């Protein structure tokens, strides 16, 4: 009986230890906006992402400071949530339709849209849709990657890079390996626009 109690206590401590040791990360990045209404909208969007524990957008510098639990989310998801609220970030542009619905005082000068670059790699070891999903999830964690589309039928992945982003082949190949697949050759050595 005493062994069962000790065992249960050990399980409880291990389970709660994961919460105690959660890794919070703080990052800063640019978010376009102009006024107090923008500030409220930007911070609300950032805070709506599961795992975000705090955010603070500075109107003068147009910089947001976000603290989040890396086990629950990543910076890519936070950028996406803010863009979906109508504010361009240095990683994602807000959809035009959402931006157009912002109040007049919130309309900021938008930079001309740059094209995303798409790079393609052979990938060996994918044999099902679940493999595709696992690979995309790993590759999408790379800073500067805005999305990816894997195909187990074609044995390749297309990686979409943010405009102006510089992501090394080595970094992408390492993420492919981390997903337990084998990277092959780069199919478009110079990349191409989306």
- Cα–Cα nearest to 65, from 29, 111, 118: 29
Q: Quote the pLDDT of residue 10.
A: 55
Residues 99-125 pLDDT 10s: 999 999 999 998 776 777 899 999 999
Question: How many whole angstroms separate alpha carbon 91 and alpha carbon 164?
Answer: 10
- Asked whether 45 and 84 are in contact (CB, 8 A), the reply is yes
pTM: 0.56
Question: How many whole angstroms separate alpha carbon 18 and alpha carbon 104?
Answer: 46
Residues 26-49 pLDDT 10s: 999 999 999 999 999 999 999 999
Full DSSP string of 163-181:
TT----HHHHHHHHHHTT-
Place of tokens 């909208």: 41
Provide CATH code, domain 117-193.
3.30.70.100
Would you say the C-alpha torsion 167, 169, 175, 178 has a positive or negative sign? negative
Q: Return the HEC string of 47-70.
A: HCCCCEEEEEEECCCCEEEEEEEC
Burial of 82 (0-12, 13-18, 19+ CB in 10 A): buried
Question: How many whole angstroms separate alpha carbon 155 and alpha carbon 52?
Answer: 35
- The pLDDT of 74-82, averaged and rounded, is 91
Q: Quote the pLDDT of residue 147.
A: 86
pLDDT at 185 exceeding the cut of 70: yes
pLDDT at 144 exceeding the cut of 70: yes
Question: How many whole angstroms separate alpha carbon 115 and alpha carbon 159?
Answer: 14
Question: How many whole angstroms separate alpha carbon 56 and alpha carbon 147?
Answer: 26
Considering the chain, tell me which residue range(s) the CATH 3.30.70.100 domain(s) occupy: 23-106, 117-193
pLDDT at 83 exceeding the cut of 70: yes
Pick the CATH number of 23-106 from 3.30.70.100, 3.20.20.100, 3.40.50.300, 3.40.50.720: 3.30.70.100
193 pLDDT band (50/70/90 cuts)? very low
pLDDT at 63 exceeding the cut of 90: yes
């Amino acid at each position: 009986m005493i062994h069962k109690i000790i065992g249960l206590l050990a399980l409880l401590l291990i389970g709660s230890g994961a919460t105690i040791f959660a890794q919070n990360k703080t990052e800063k990045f640019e978010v376009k906006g102009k006024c107090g209404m923008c500030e409220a909208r930007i911070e609300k969007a950032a805070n709506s992402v599961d795992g975000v524990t705090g955010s603070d957008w500075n109107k003068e510098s147009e910089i947001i400071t976000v603290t989040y639990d890396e086990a629950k989310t990543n910076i890519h998801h936070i950028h996406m949530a803010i863009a979906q609220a109508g504010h361009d970030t240095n990683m994602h542009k807000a959809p035009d339709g959402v931006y157009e619905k912002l109040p007049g005082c919130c309309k900021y000068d938008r930079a001309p849209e740059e094209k995303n670059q798409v790079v393609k790699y052979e990938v060996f070891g994918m044999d099902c849709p679940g493999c595709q999903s696992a690979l995309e999830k790993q590759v999408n964690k790379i800073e500067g990657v805005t999305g990816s589309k894997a195909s187990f039928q074609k044995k390749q992945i297309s990686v979409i890079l943010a405009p102006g982003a510089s992501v090394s082949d080595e970094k992408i190949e390492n993420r492919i390996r981390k997903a337990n697949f084998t990277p092959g050759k780069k199919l478009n050595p110079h990349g191409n626009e989306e």
